[in-house]
Structure 1
Amino acid sequence: MQKVTSTPSDDARCGWYHLSGPRQPRPAHSGSKHARWTVIGAGYTGLAAARQLALNNPDDEIVLIDAQEVGFGTAGRNAGFAIDLPHDIGADDYIGDIDKAKTTLRLNVLGQSILRSLVERYGIDCAMRASGKYQAAVEGKGLAVLDAYRRGLDKLGQAYEMIEGDDLPGHIGTHFYKRALYTPGTILVQPSALVKGLADCLPSNVTLYERTPITEVDYGDQAGDKIVLGHANGRITTDKLILANNAFGMRFGFLQRTMLPVFLYASLTRPLSDEEQAQLGGKSFWGVIPADPFGSTVRRTHDNRILIRNSFSFNPDGRPKQQYLERFIKRHQASFERRFPMLPNVGFDYTWSGSLALSQNHEGFFGQLAPNVYGALCCNGLGITRGTVTGTLLANWIAGERSDLIDFLLQSPGPNKAPPEPFLSVGVNATLAWGQHKAGLES
C-alpha cells in the first residue's frame, strides 16, 4: 500500500477563482466504485486526458478525481499565458536545437488549437484573446536576453516586433521598460474561468469527483491486478490509472526526487476607474513577461485590473506557506509602484500562490509509469498549452495511436534526479534567493 503523505491544499484568496463565474462543484466520492479508467488531477492535463479517453472509449465510464474544487487549484492560479513559442532557457538563443524547437512549437500550437476549439464550441466565458505577449527588459542583461531571443526567432522563422522604450507606453502604458520583444502567437485567458468551463463541458461518460483527495493506493502484486484508490470516505477500484497531478505524482510512488514544487506569487488590483485608465493609457488588454526569469509578469486584464506576479519559494510538500504570502505582497506593491507611478492609490484586492512542477533538466514525463499506470507530469511552467496537448496525446497513445508528436514525447529522457534532502532544499532555496536578487529592477 502506497500512502499519499501530502495532498493539495491551496490558499484561499486566488483572484482568478473568485472573479470567475460561479459553478456548482460536482459531489465528492463516497462509498465503493469500480471504473475501467481513472484520472487523478482535474487541471489542464487531467481534463484533456479524461476528455480524450471518453471520446476514444464511448462505452466506458471515465472517472476524474480532484483533491479540491476545479479552478481553485494550480491550473486556475497561473498568469493565464497560453504560449506558442519554445523558450529554452538553457540555450544561448533561447531556441536551442532547431528540430526540437520546431516540434515543441507544433505541440504548443496544437494545445492552443484544442483549447480555442473547445472555448468556441461550448461558449466558455474565459476572456480568451489572441493578443500576443511582450517580453520586456529594464537592465542590460535583460536587453541581451531579448537580442538573443530575437536571433533564435529568426532561426525558427517566427514573427516578432522589437519595440523601443519610447514607444512602449502606447502599448502598455508604463515608461518603466527600455525595450520589449512582442510576439503575436500567445493567447491570454482568465485561467480559473477556463478550467471551470472545460470541466463543465466534459463528455457525458466522464464522472468528475471534486474535493476527493486520495490518501492511499494499492497497485497490487501482479501486472493484471486492479488498482485501489483509497480516501477518507471510500475507495475506487480501477483497471487503469492516469496520473495528471504534476509534482504530487511523486506522492503516488513515481519519479521520486525529480519534480521540484516551486511556488510563484501573484496579486491582482481592484478595477481601475475611468480616470485611472486614462492616466495609464496604452492598450486595454495586454500581458508582459520578464526578460529575466526571476522578474515580474504583469497583465492588464479584461476587467481593467493589473496583475503582478513574482517571487518564488520551494515548498517540498507541494503546499503553500502563509508566511511567504505575507512577505511577498510587499514586493508586489513595490513592483507595482515602480511600473505605475501614475496610479498612486490603487491597492490589491487579492494575493495568492500557485505551484509549478519544475525539473532540473526542463524535461517532463510522458508515458507508462508501471503496469496499468500512465502519466503526463512535470509541466515546467507551460501548463496551459503543454498540459492540454500532453493529456490529449497520452489518451491517444494508450488507445494505440502513434504520431511524430507522440514519439517525440516518448523519446524524452524525463525529469532527472535531484539531490536528496537536506541538500535539495538548501540548493534550490539558494538558487531562488540569488536569482531574485540578481533580477534587480526587473523584479
Structure 2
Amino acid sequence: MQKITSLPADDALPGWYHTSASRTPRPAHVGQKHARWVIVGAGLTGLAAARQMALNFPDDEIVLTEAQEVGFGSSGRNAGFAIDVPHDIGAKDYIGDVATAKLILKLNTLGQDYLRDIVQENNIQCQMNEAGKYQAAVSESGMAILEAYRKGLEKIGRETQMIEGKDLPQHIGISYYKKALYIPGTILLQPSALVKGLADSLPANVTLYEYTPISSINYGDKITLRHDKGHIIADKLILANNAFASHFGFLQGRLLPTFLYGSLTRPLSESEQAQLGGKPVWGVIPAHPFGSTVRRTPDNRILIRNSFSFHPDGRPREKYLQQFIETHRKSFERRFPMLPDVGFDYSWSGAICLSENHEGFFGKLAPNVYGALCCNGLGITRGTATGKLLADMIAGERNELIDFLLASPGPNRTPPQPFLSFGVNSTLRWGQYKAGLEV
C-alpha cells in the first residue's frame, strides 16, 4: 500500500475562481466502485484526458476524481495565457533547436485548437480572447532578451512586432516599459471559468467525483484507490495530478512544486478606465522570467502575478502570500501611477510543476499506470495537449507528437533534502533579485 502523505490544500481567495460563474460541484464518491479507467486530477490535463478517453472508449465509463472543487486548484490559479510559441530560457535565442521548437509549436497549437473547439461547441463563458501577448522589458538586459527572442521566432516562421516604449501606451495604457515584443497567437482567458466549463461539458460516459482526495493506493493487477468514504477499483489508472504524482510513488525526487502568487484588483471605474487608456484587453509577460506578469481583463480588472516559493509537499504557506501581496502592491504602483486608489480584491498562490531540465513526463509509469505530468509553467496548452494525446496513445494511436513526447528523457533527478530546498529557494531569491525593475 502506498500511503498518500500530502494532499492539495490551496488558500481561500483565488480571484479567478471567485469572479467566475458559480456551479454546483459533483458529489464526492461514497462506497465502492469498479471502473476500467480512473483518472486522478481534474485540472486541465485530467479534463482533456477524460474527454478524449470518453471519445476513444465510448462504451466504457471513465471515472475522474478531484481532491478539491474543479476550478479552485492550480488549473484555475494561473495567469490565463494559452501560449503557442516555445520559450526555451536555456537557449540564447530562446528557441534552441529549430526542429524541436517547431514540434513544441505544433504541440502547443494542438492544445489551443482543442480548447477553442470545446469552448465554442459548448458555449463556455471564459472570456476567451485572441489578443496575443506582449513580452515587455524595462532594463537593457531585458531588451536584449526581446531582440534575441525576436530572431529566434523568425527561425520558426513566427511574425512579431517590436514596439518602442513611446508607443506602448497606445497598446497597454502605461509607459513603464521601455520596449515590448508583440507576439500574436496567444489566447487570453479566465482560467477558472474555463476549467469549470470543461468539467460541466464532459461526455456522458465520464463520471466526475469532486472533493474525493485519495488517501492511499494499492497497485497490482487491479488498482485500489482509497479515500475516507470508500474506495475505487481501477483496471487502468491515469495520473494527471502533476507534482502530487510523487506522493503516489512516481517520479520521486524529480518534480519541483513551485508556487507563484497573484493579485486581482477590483473593477476599474469608467473614469479610471479613461485614465488608463490603451486596449481593453491585453496581457504582458516579462522579458525576465522572474519579472511580473500583468493583465487587463475583459471585466476591467488588473492582474499582477510575481514572486516564487518552493514547497516539496505541494502545499502553500500563508506567510509567503502575505509577504508577496506587498510586492504586488509595489509592482502595481510602479506601473499604474494613474490609478492610486485601486486596491486588490483577491490575492492567492498557485502551484506549477517544474523540473530541473524543463522536461515533463508522458507515457507509461508502471503496469496499468499512465501519466501526463509536469507542464513546466505551460499548463493551459501543454496540459491540454498532453492529456488528449495520452488518451490517444492508450487507444493505440501514434503520430509525430506522441512520438516526440515519448522520446523525452523525462524530469531529471534532483539532489536530496535539505540540499534541494536550500538550492531551489536560493535560486528563486537570486532570480527575483536579478529581475530588478522587471518585477
TM-score normalised by L of structure 2: 1.00
Deviation at 1:372, TM superposition (A): 0.2
Equivalent residue number for residue 122 of structure 2: 122
2:61 alignment partner AA = E
How much is the aligned-residue C-alpha RMSD, in angstroms?
Answer: 0.4
Output one character per residue of 1:173-206: Cα deviation in whole Å (capped at 9) or x when no partner: 1100000000010000000000000000000000
Q: Does 1:398 align with 2:394?
A: yes
Structure 2 residue 297 is matched with structure 1 residue 301: yes
SS in 2 for 1:439: helix
Distance in structure 2 (CA, Å) of the matches to 1:344 and 1:22: 31
In structure 2, what is the Cα distance between the partners aligned to 1:250 and 1:140? Answer: 40
The one-letter amino acid paired with 2:418 is P
Cα deviation code 1:244-275 (max 9, x no counterpart): 00000000000011110000000000000000
Q: What whole-Å deviation, never above 9, does each CA across 1:17-74 have from its counterpart, x for those lacking one? A: 0000111000000100000000000011000001111111111100000000000000
- Taking the aligned partners of 1:344 and 1:312, their CA distance within structure 2 comes to 26
The aligned counterpart of 1:216 is 216
- C-alpha separation between the residues in 2 aligned to 1:117 and 1:57? 20
Taking the TM superposition and a 5 Å limit, the aligned residue runs for 1:233-312 are 233-312=229-308
Q: Spell out, residue by residue over 1:74-110, the C-alpha distance to the aligned partner (whole angstroms, 9 max, x if none).
A: 0000000000000011100000000000000001001
Structure 1 residue 342 displacement after superposition: 0.4
How far the C-alpha of 1:168 sits from its partner, in A, is 0.1
Superposed counterparts of 1:99-114, under 5 Å: 99-114=99-114
Counterpart of 2:336 in structure 1 is 340
Residue of 375, 383, 386 corresponding to 1:387: 383
User: What's 1:134 paired with?
Assistant: 134
Q: Distance in 1 between matches of 2:33 and 2:344?
A: 45
SS at match of 2:295: strand
Distance between the aligned counterparts of 2:156 and 2:235, measured in 1?
43
CA displacement at 1:9 relative to structure 2: 1.0
* CA displacement at 1:154 relative to structure 2: 1.2
1:189 maps to: 189
Per the alignment, in what secondary structure is the counterpart of residue 430 of structure 1? Answer: helix
1:406 maps to a residue whose letter is I
| 1:435 matches 2:418 | no
Distance, in Å, in 2 between the alignment partners of 1:332 and 1:302 is 21
Whichever residue aligns with residue 353 of structure 1, its letter is: S
Question: CA shift at 1:156, angstroms?
Answer: 1.2
Secondary structure (helix, strand or coil) at the match of 1:375 reads strand
Which residue pairs with 1:144 in the alignment? 144
Task: Report whether the alignment pairs 1:366 with 2:362.
Answer: yes
Q: How much has 1:155 moved relative to structure 2? A: 1.1
Deviation at 1:209, TM superposition (A): 0.2
Residues 1:33 and 2:29 aligned together? no
1:375 to 366, 371, 378: 371
**Count of residues paired in the alignment:** 439
Letter in 1 for 2:300: N
Aligned residue for 2:177? 177
1:56 aligns with 2:56: yes
Please name the residue that 2:414 is paired with: 418
Separation in structure 2 between the aligned mates of residue 308 and residue 315 of structure 1, nearest angstrom? 22
Scaled by the length of structure 1, what TM-score is found?
A: 0.99
Number of the residue aligned with 1:89: 89
Q: Does the alignment pair 1:203 with 2:203? A: yes
Amino acid at match of 1:202: L
Query: What is the deviation of 1:286?
Result: 0.2
- Once the two structures are superposed, residues 337-377 of structure 1 have per-residue CA deviations (whole angstroms, 9 ceiling, x without a partner) of 00000001000000000000000100000000000000000
Of all paired residues, the percent bearing the same amino acid is 72
**Deviation of residue 280 (structure 1)?**
0.4
In the alignment, the residues of structure 2 paired with residue 15 and residue 197 of structure 1 have an alpha-carbon distance, to the nearest angstrom, of: 17
What amino acid is the match of 2:133? K
**What's the secondary structure of 2:224's corresponding residue?**
strand
Deviation at 1:138, TM superposition (A): 0.1
**Paired letter, 1:330:** E
| Counterpart-to-counterpart distance in 1, 2:141 and 2:315 | 33
Question: Which residue in the other structure is 1:330 paired with?
Answer: 326
Instruction: Give SS of 1:376's match.
Output: strand
